[in-house]
Structure 1
Amino acid sequence: MTSPVSSAHSADQVPATTSAGASGKGGSTLRSPRQLADAGLIPETMLRDVGKVAARYATAIPPAFLSLIETPDDPVGLQVIPHPDELILAPSERDDPIGDDALSPVPGIVHRYADRALLKPLLICPLYCRFCFRREHVGPDGGLLDDMALGKALDWLRAHEQIREVILTGGDPLMLSARRLEHIVRALSEMSHVTTIRIHSRVPLADPGRITDALIAAMETDRAMWLVLHANHEREFSPEGRVAVRRMQKRGIPVLGQSVLLRGVNDSVSALEGLFRAMVENRVKPYYLHQLDPAPGTARFHVPVEEGRALLRGLRGRVTGLAWPTYVLDIPGGYGKVPLGPDYLDPGGDSVTDPQGQLHRVSDL
């Protein structure tokens, strides 16, 4: 990492990695191939190949998330257990699939849209998704902005008064200590042009014990504060995770849901229906369903766009509009997100298709 980024996890910045107290369950986060094998998540015969994957991409499975895995190839396990196929690169895959690096004016900032910017205070996560579009950068040993780098990032935001919304991402911002998070939220709240703060996180479901009163208090602000919760399967909504989400909602923080369409995880109408119903039942509004970004070694999770559109079409009429996300593609190279449909108005604009597949002339309506 370059000098503005520190690998030191000081008590004022990042809390202890994972313990029984942090996760609410006994045991430690699984990080090595040997630990994965001992836990029955990979066979002994895969140790060498998974070791090659682990040398390139970080691994972490906290106890709370581990408890949700029934088999290594189930929809929860597939998301976090490393696999040798991650070293197979498809021609379309890129180290920086959505152009973060090219759109970073200073370390920790990504500026893609005129009125908003990403602030990445760290690149540390509670778990490391095997399909992550930042997998070349995230990991437990780096990516934490030191005080000087964070100050420069905040100064950049102060100087660009067209920025109305700041999205805290990374990594996972809720891996920060309460003190560090409070410092960042306070600094953003003091910028008169920043009206909205958004936090993207897997922590409430992946490691719900981290959602402490102090961490929630650190998010308090007079600006509009939103949490976007990442979940890909209904089983991620454990009883402890549901409590963590509800505690944040009780403090007035609205929660949206975002997911990635993944082969073997949620690539069926029934799986998506279960996921979105679980969100709505927990007062989480489905926001985005992302088409998989072409990060290195992620082809095994790819679902073609037309198949994704068909899945969303299959949900129409089965779930409430509250459970309907926008299916989006983040155009590779940093060109931004666009909705993918499905479409119900025919190309000529003369008729629409109802949820049962019947055509109706617009002129007759």
Structure 2
Amino acid sequence: MNRIKSAINGIEGLIASGLAEGADRDALDAVAARYATLIPPAFRALIGRPDDAIGRQVIPHPDELSVAAHEVADPIGDDAFSPVPGIVHRYADRALLKPLLVCPLYCRFCFRREHVGPGGGVLDEAALQRALDWLAGRDTISEVILTGGDPLMLSPRRLARIVQALDAMPHITTIRIHSRVPVAAPERLTEALADAMQAEGALWLVLHANHASEFTPEAAVAIRRVQARAIPVLGQSVLLRGVNDDEATLEALLRAMVRLRIKPYYLHQLDAAPGTSRFHVPIEEGRRLLAGLRGRVTGLAWPTYVLDIPDGHGKVPIGPEYVDAAAGTVRDPAGRLHRLAPGGARLAGAHARG
């Protein structure tokens, strides 16, 4: 593959590279004035045309300025649950720590798209210490999720400082790092950055990828660098129209993760951020897609399909469902119905489990 060495960070670059039409310049400039644009070399090299599965994720589109009635700037309610800058505390036992609002690329469907961007900044030392002190003073919190922005855009020194500070808190038993870097900018995930992720307690990397082609040879090297340090890797994806909304494409994505020892964790229903309607896949369609894969892919590749309820009410699984308790039936992967015995056990004999 011909590797492209420079990132595209503006509309002029998009037009020059053939990823946008000059006739659309004014409309795209209006989009860029509101939402950040950055396409790193790893993603640029994968784009065959602007509307393909990779281009659609990162190339600005005039429709981003069309806001549907149900779309809001803070669709999952982060702001209402932020007691101090950089912290979101929605669940009793865990909290988000957002040390920066900078990413290696800017997804056109991002639920934090009103906040992230090159000018989103980093928590300065005083603000970071206030956030860490807040976490240190709440012993009911056992898990901290580093997010943003993308925590792996931090320098190794700063990331290590944060991980070590959290690791030193007796009540923090689990640290999660949520990142797009291994697929979006794998060259950033150096030995030094991987070293900075190491903790005495449990630390997990949760990788965001939406299409199998994102797992390039370079991405595989970056992922293995993390795994070599005994850091388990989970995968999360967003169900997106025109990106992964058919059975074959979704199956390829899940299988690509498992091949690299990444456990598919969440498949997210799209959050209703402004100007993202063109990516929307209805929940019932998402359920049908997953149901179509049941029995075709190993349970190792099976994610939980989830909806983050608007206004900060939490994340819940949304199917597909196989048991109808009221009717006393269970549906198998082929769609056939079977009777349930009292208490929910099947009347038929035991079968091998996969």
RMSD (Å), alpha carbons: 1.0
The residue type paired with residue 317 of structure 2 is P
How far the C-alpha of 1:70 sits from its partner, in A, is: 1.2
Given that 1:290 and 1:327 are in contact with CA atoms closer than 8 Å, whether structure 2 keeps it comes out as: yes
Partner of 1:68: 46
Given that 1:227 and 1:256 are in contact with CA atoms closer than 8 Å, whether structure 2 keeps it comes out as: yes
Indicate which of 189, 192, 214 corresponds to 1:214.
Answer: 192
Given that 1:137 and 1:143 are in contact with CA atoms closer than 8 Å, whether structure 2 keeps it comes out as: no
Partner of 1:165: 143
Partner of 2:297: 319
* Unaligned segments of structure 2, at least 5 residues: 342-346, 349-354
SS at match of 1:286: strand
**1:276 and 2:254 are equivalent in the alignment:** yes
How far the C-alpha of 1:308 sits from its partner, in A, is: 0.4
How far the C-alpha of 1:354 sits from its partner, in A, is: 0.5
Indicate which of 154, 157, 164 corresponds to 1:179.
Answer: 157
Distance in 2 (CA, whole Å) between partners of 1:311 and 1:347 is 23
SS at match of 1:256: strand
Distance in 2 (CA, whole Å) between partners of 1:228 and 1:276 is 14
Given that 1:58 and 1:139 are in contact with CA atoms closer than 8 Å, whether structure 2 keeps it comes out as: yes
Partner of 2:19: 41
How far the C-alpha of 1:56 sits from its partner, in A, is: 0.1
Partner of 1:4: none
The residue type paired with residue 239 of structure 1 is P
**1:290 and 2:273 are equivalent in the alignment:** no
Partner of 1:358: 336
User: Percent identity among equivalent residues?
Assistant: 67
Indicate which of 234, 238, 253 corresponds to 2:216.
Answer: 238
**1:338 and 2:325 are equivalent in the alignment:** no
How far the C-alpha of 1:276 sits from its partner, in A, is: 0.1
The residue type paired with residue 321 of structure 2 is D
Deviations 1:22-58 (A, max 9, x none): xx95532211100000011111111110000000000
**1:250 and 2:228 are equivalent in the alignment:** yes
Given that 2:3 and 2:45 are in contact with CA atoms closer than 8 Å, whether structure 1 keeps it comes out as: no
**1:134 and 2:112 are equivalent in the alignment:** yes
SS at match of 1:333: helix
**1:107 and 2:85 are equivalent in the alignment:** yes
Partner of 1:305: 283
**1:202 and 2:160 are equivalent in the alignment:** no
* Unaligned segments of structure 1, at least 5 residues: 1-23
Indicate which of 126, 132, 149 corresponds to 1:148.
Answer: 126
Indicate which of 306, 310, 317 corresponds to 1:328.
Answer: 306
Partner of 2:103: 125
The residue type paired with residue 105 of structure 1 is P
Partner of 1:89: 67
Q: TM-score, normalised by structure 1?
A: 0.92
